[in-house]
Amino acid sequence: MNDSLFEKAANAVLEGEMNKSKEIAQKSIDQGIDPLKMIEKGFSPGIAEAGRLFDRGELFLPQLMTCADAMKAATNILNQTLGNEPGNNEGVIKVILGSVEGDLHDIGKGIVASLLEANGIEVIDLGTDVPVDKFASKAQEFEVDVIGTSSLLTTTMKETEKLENYLKEKGLRNKFKTIVGGAPVTERWAKKIGADAYAENANEAVSKIFEITQ
Ligand code: B1M
């Protein structure tokens, strides 16, 4: 039963069918399917396949954008069911999140943000294309515990190293913990640049943030 809904979700994204995606997202909520499981097993394989076809030149950018819109419409619905509403988590761990400068990908970051909030972590989401000085100034302004970056491109991934160096230069490195994520980012990269943590997915982001802020 779930398997066929997962398959339908993947196909709706791959075909760029926004309305169908929304319908399937709503149906999965009505059926009581875990929203994160629905994203990971249903919608994500669809966008991953779209990415593969794009890579092979079998799908063009406008089509990929339509697929992304369908994916985003579904995750927007599912993210809301992950847990707490934003703003209900005052007094606990505070995390600033953003996609690094030059990076406009934000679907995964949105899922991470929602799951952190669902786990009682306060999230300040700076959006996309965030330069390192903005991460630093907003982290100070909001007195956060953790700076979290998302990078989806091999080129923009280097911004995370820039951030580590910037924080050091400004004497701020010890004030905040850092966590990095996004498809091309690895544990090895995180260690190389001196980030405090790496998370492969939204669930891991939650556990790693609890770990580094203990
Ligand atoms: Co882009 N794109 N894209 N794209 N896109 C990739 C990343 C790519 C791998 C596709 C491909 O060629 N196969 C490729 C990068 C190649 C590379 O760098 N080696 C690529 C490219 C080339 C580009 C453009 C340059 C294309 C062009 O213009 N010619 C362009 C760049 C724009 C820019 O950023 N400046 C571009 C544009 C776009 C769209 C706008 C069309 C759209 C983004 C829409 C949006 O986000 N609003 C898009 C999409 C959708 C993708 C793919 C297909 C899917 C990304 C996604 O949403 N995945 C992607 C291929 C792929 O990743 N398989 C691709 C689903 C999401 C749930 O997963 O984001 O990985 P993900 O998030 C996960 C984890 O990574 C992790 O948790 C999340 C949930 O589990 N995670 C974190 C993420 N952030 C985290 C932070 C953490 C912890 C965990 O802590 C803080």
* Mean pLDDT, rounded, for 18-30: 97
Output the pLDDT for position 205: 97
Kindly state whether residues 34 and 107 are assigned to the same domain: no
What spacing in Å lies between the alpha carbon of 40 and ligand 1's midpoint?
Answer: 15
Kindly state whether residues 21 and 78 are assigned to the same domain: yes
Kindly state whether residues 107 and 203 are assigned to the same domain: yes
Residues with CB under 6 A from ligand 1: 44, 47-48, 50-51, 54-55, 61, 64-65, 68, 72, 97, 102-109, 111-112, 148-150, 152-154, 179, 181-184, 199, 201-202, 205
Kindly state whether residues 71 and 117 are assigned to the same domain: no
Instruction: Give yes or no for a contact between 70 and 25, defined as CB atoms under 8 angstroms apart.
Output: no
* Mean pLDDT, rounded, for 55-63: 95
pLDDT at position 2 over 80: no
Instruction: Tell me the pLDDT tens digit for each residue of 128-151.
Output: 999 999 999 999 999 999 999 999
Last residue of a domain, one of 21, 56, 82: 82
- Measured CA to CA, the distance from residue 151 to residue 160 in angstroms comes to 8
- For the beta carbon of residue 23, count every other beta carbon within 10 angstroms: 15
In a domain, 89, yes or no: no
Domain of 114 in residue numbering reads as 94-212
Q: Which two tokens stand for residue 126?
A: 């700076």
User: Ligand 1, residues 40, 59, 97, 105: which to mutate, most atoms within 8 A of Cβ?
Assistant: 105
**108 CA closest ligand 1 atom index:** 72
Kindly state whether residues 108 and 181 are assigned to the same domain: yes
pLDDT category at 91 given cuts 50, 70, 90 is low
- Measured CA to CA, the distance from residue 64 to residue 76 in angstroms comes to 18
Instruction: Tell me the pLDDT tens digit for each residue of 92-127.
Output: 899 999 999 999 999 999 999 999 998 999 999 999
C-alpha dist (Å) from residue 198 to 78, 175, 195: 24, 18, 7
In a domain, 21, yes or no: yes
The CATH number linked to 48 is 1.10.1240.10
Q: Is 64 exposed, middle or buried (0-12, 13-18, 19+ CB in 10 A)?
A: middle
In sequence order, what DSSP letters do the residues of the chain get, joined into one string? -HHHHHHHHHHHHHTT-HHHHHHHHHHHHHTT--HHHHIIIIIHHHHHHHHHHHHTTSS-HHHHHHHHHHHHHHHHHHHTTSSPPTT--TTS-EEEEEEBTT----HHHHHHHHHHHHTT-EEEE--SSB-HHHHHHHHHHTT-SEEEEE--STTTTHHHHHHHHHHHHTT-GGG-EEEEESTT--HHHHHHHT-SEE-SSHHHHHHHHHHHT-
Kindly state whether residues 152 and 75 are assigned to the same domain: no
* Mean pLDDT, rounded, for 152-166: 98
pLDDT at position 82 over 90: no
CA 114 from chain centre, in angstroms, equals 9
Last residue of a domain, one of 28, 58, 82: 82
Output the pLDDT for position 92: 86
Among protein residues, the one whose CA lies closest to atom 21 of ligand 1: 153
The CATH number linked to 104 is 3.40.50.280
pTM: 0.94
Among protein residues, the one whose CA lies closest to atom 50 of ligand 1: 68
Kindly state whether residues 150 and 170 are assigned to the same domain: yes
What spacing in Å lies between the alpha carbon of 159 and ligand 1's midpoint?
Answer: 15
In a domain, 138, yes or no: yes
pLDDT at position 86 over 80: no
Domain total for the chain? 2
Output the pLDDT for position 1: 53
* Mean pLDDT, rounded, for 35-48: 94
Last residue of a domain, one of 48, 82, 116: 82
What spacing in Å lies between the alpha carbon of 147 and ligand 1's midpoint?
Answer: 20
In a domain, 99, yes or no: yes
In a domain, 88, yes or no: no
* Mean pLDDT, rounded, for 42-66: 95
Among 131, 137, 139, which Cα is nearest to 176's?
A: 139
Kindly state whether residues 18 and 117 are assigned to the same domain: no
Kindly state whether residues 98 and 131 are assigned to the same domain: yes
Kindly state whether residues 17 and 104 are assigned to the same domain: no
pLDDT at position 17 over 60: yes
What spacing in Å lies between the alpha carbon of 92 and ligand 1's midpoint?
Answer: 30
pLDDT category at 84 given cuts 50, 70, 90 is low
pLDDT at position 212 over 70: yes
Kindly state whether residues 73 and 164 are assigned to the same domain: no
- Measured CA to CA, the distance from residue 191 to residue 84 in angstroms comes to 32
